[in-house]
Amino acid sequence: MIKAVRGTRDLLPPDTALWNFVEAAVRDVFRAYNFQEIRTPVFETTELFARGVGEETDIVSKEMFTWEDGAKAADYAIYKKWMVSKRSADTPLAAMDPNMATADSPLPTAYLPDKKQYVVFAFRVSAEAYRELGRAKALKNSGVLQFDELLLVTSEPAPEGFSFDIGGMKVKVERILVDANPQFITLRPENTAGVVRAYIEHKLWDRGLNKLYYIGPQFRRERPQKGRYRQFYQIGAEVIGPPASGSESPARDAEVLEMLATLLDRLGITDWNLELNSVGSSQERVKFNEALRVALAPLKDKMCADCQRRAVTNPLRVLDCKVPEDQPIIEELPRITDFLEEESRKHFDAVQDILTKVGVKFTLNPRLVRGLDYYTRTAFEFTHGALGAQNAILGGGRYDGLSEALGGPAAPGIGFAIGEDRLVMSLQEKTPAESVLRKPDVYIAPMAGMNADAAKLARELRRHDLVVELGDDSFRKLKKSFEAAEKAGAKYILIVGENEVKADAFALKNLATGEQVSVPRAELAQKIQG
Ligand code: HAM
């Protein structure tokens, strides 16, 4: 049996009704706050996430689904170009290279007995290129092939210090340029980088302040557990625009947070906790990072391997560490709040003032730094008790420098992403999927030979926005139709027999009360609607 890949899952009815309920409710809320939908691609260049989310984050360093696209075609293009350039006009390729490569070869290679050459073609000097050179070595050493020259033909420059030799014979590297552009591609692990990429690509600053939302799958290669999947869904929003559009104002932060409180309340999720912090401007973060580096220097050897590395490369990420033994050390480290200067402090105070005034409760958490590098100033998470270890139902914050980091103009922004899987999970306790599922209003049961008349009736009733389940006349006994109607959860069953069609009035039975009446065709919809 072929099963869904580990960490992915099928969402099935009736659960999907709850997902639709959530999505309809959030779309309503987004509308009320004047947010509009954006849909960005599910995959982007790897570079976008490396530069946007940060090389040292868990997401980029360990969790991305990445592949190289177009590499094979590029390898083959090099092979073809080189071979064509070397042959005399009337020599077909096949005559020159008896084991001619095809576009499907692992890496194209050519053995040219006339020239006593063996050639490996690779767009860049990759691990596969080394493997092919190793194979060439084995072929020569075992005497299978005789050649005096080993060539590596590539398009990208070979890495510094590259050298490879076979018993004294050095590989000769030849560079040729081809019109091919293999790229590293990544399934998006989050959507903020994609939205900011689109903001820059489409010059969305022309519209002033952009208030955008998205709903869609994201991908992270995390260890799957309850509430943590490799394909999961986010409902997110981003407010981004040029500074002159007011994108930097604390009023934006507060509005986003108040909207989230409204949204959760609207869904009936009441026992959430908003944890709030300011992670400072990028300059303040530089100072904080330095203070952490100094504080960690004498301590890091007692910490986990990841922390030892992060203590040097990006000390802020040490604060994300979940290893229990490291927590007492982390507890004693300097706090970002002590590094905030006047402007950031004022911004943070203003956000808190508005939240207090509009009545949104929050808890300050000076340890909250979030696992992505782009955050500046306001950072937050909403947690929910029912979720257990993976208790962050949503997270977000400001990213005032992200656009610039991606090569765009200054465009301060703030946003969040809700983990939809977790949101649905915390809803499930109080709101079972069955309670939001719209069951059939009526089940139409055609007697023998009455399928066409039943279909006509179904078509009429569905035009009245009724949910109609249409049976067929293969159930020779009416009892089976009744069973099917009950199973589907229909309110009524409507019998379509020859006599009914002649009389243009149909037997309609209420399955809950057992009441059965004959209803003229013209009055059916109204009677069923109740
Ligand atoms: P994040 O904190 O990485 O932020 O993810 C947001 C939410 O997505 C988490 O709070 C969690 O509910 C959910 N989530 C993350 N990973 C998984 C997983 N493996 N399985 C199930 N749910 C998961 C971001 O992604 C930022 N882009 C949020 C943002 C938007 N910041 C500013 N704008």
Hey, which of 38, 220, 232, 427 would you mutate to test ligand 1's pocket, going by the most ligand atoms within 8 Å of its Cβ? 232
Cα–Cα distance, 270 to 267 (Å, whole number): 9
Cis bond leading into 14, ω under 30°? Answer: yes
The answer, yes or no, to whether any atom of ligand 1 lies below 6 A from the CB of 403, is no
Task: Give the model's pLDDT for residue 261.
Answer: 97
The answer, yes or no, to whether any atom of ligand 1 lies below 6 A from the CB of 190, is yes
Closest CA to 296 of 336, 337, 329: 329
Q: Residue by residue, what is the 3-state secondary structure of 203-271?
A: CHHHHCCEEEEEEEEEECCCCCECCECCEEEEEEEEEECCHHHCCCCHHHHHHHHHHHHHHHHHCCCCC
The answer, yes or no, to whether any atom of ligand 1 lies below 6 A from the CB of 229, is yes
Which residue has its alpha carbon closest to ligand 1 atom 33? 415
Q: How long, in residues, is the chain?
A: 530
Tell me if 178 sits within 8 A of 81, measured CB to CB. yes
Tell me if 423 sits within 8 A of 263, measured CB to CB. no
Task: Give the model's pLDDT for residue 88.
Answer: 67
Task: Give the model's pLDDT for residue 159.
Answer: 86
Q: What is the pTM of this model?
A: 0.89
Q: How far is CA 437 from CA 113, 429, 471, 490, in A?
A: 72, 15, 20, 12
Hey, which of 6, 394, 402, 424 would you mutate to test ligand 1's pocket, going by the most ligand atoms within 8 Å of its Cβ? 394
Q: What is the DSSP letter of 400?
A: T
Q: How far is CA 459 from CA 14, 117, 456, 466, 502, in A?
A: 25, 74, 5, 10, 19
347 CA distance to ligand 1 middle (Å): 24
370 CA distance to ligand 1 middle (Å): 10
Distance from chain centroid for Cα 11 = 16
Handedness of CA 335, 337, 338, 343 (dihedral sign): positive
Q: How far is CA 475 from CA 298, 447, 488, 492, in A?
A: 79, 8, 15, 18
113 CA distance to ligand 1 middle (Å): 58
The answer, yes or no, to whether any atom of ligand 1 lies below 6 A from the CB of 52, is no
Closest CA to 319 of 338, 301, 334, 305: 334
Ligand 1 atom at minimal distance to the Cα of residue 190: 25
pLDDT tens for the chain, residues 1 to 530 = 999 999 999 999 999 999 999 999 999 999 999 999 999 999 999 999 999 999 988 999 999 999 999 988 899 999 989 988 887 666 666 666 656 655 555 888 988 888 899 999 999 998 889 888 988 888 888 888 889 999 999 999 888 888 888 777 889 999 999 988 899 999 999 999 999 999 999 999 999 999 999 999 999 999 999 999 999 999 999 999 999 999 999 999 999 999 999 999 999 998 899 999 999 999 999 999 999 999 999 999 999 998 999 899 889 889 888 889 999 999 999 999 999 999 999 999 999 999 999 999 999 999 898 989 999 999 999 998 777 767 899 999 999 999 999 999 999 999 999 999 999 999 998 899 989 999 999 999 999 999 999 999 999 999 999 999 999 998 878 899 999 999 999 999 999 999 999 999 999 999 999 999 999 999 999 999 98
The answer, yes or no, to whether any atom of ligand 1 lies below 6 A from the CB of 58, is no
276 three-class SS: strand
Q: How far is CA 397 from CA 23, 238, 248, 371, in A?
A: 22, 10, 12, 11
For 475, counting Cβ atoms within 10 Å of its Cβ (0-12 exposed, 13-18 middle, 19+ buried), the class is: middle
34 CA distance to ligand 1 middle (Å): 23
The answer, yes or no, to whether any atom of ligand 1 lies below 6 A from the CB of 419, is yes
Cα–Cα distance, 256 to 378 (Å, whole number): 11
φ, ψ at 220 (rounded to 5°): -140, 135
The answer, yes or no, to whether any atom of ligand 1 lies below 6 A from the CB of 421, is yes
152 CA distance to ligand 1 middle (Å): 44
- Residue 274: other Cβ atoms inside 10 A: 19
Which residue has its alpha carbon closest to ligand 1 atom 22? 419
The answer, yes or no, to whether any atom of ligand 1 lies below 6 A from the CB of 416, is yes
Task: Give the model's pLDDT for residue 103.
Answer: 55
219 CA distance to ligand 1 middle (Å): 10
Task: Give the model's pLDDT for residue 168.
Answer: 79
**Residues β-bridged to residue 514:** none
Name the helix (H) or strand (E) containing 416: strand 413-419
Single-letter amino acid code for the residue at 224: P
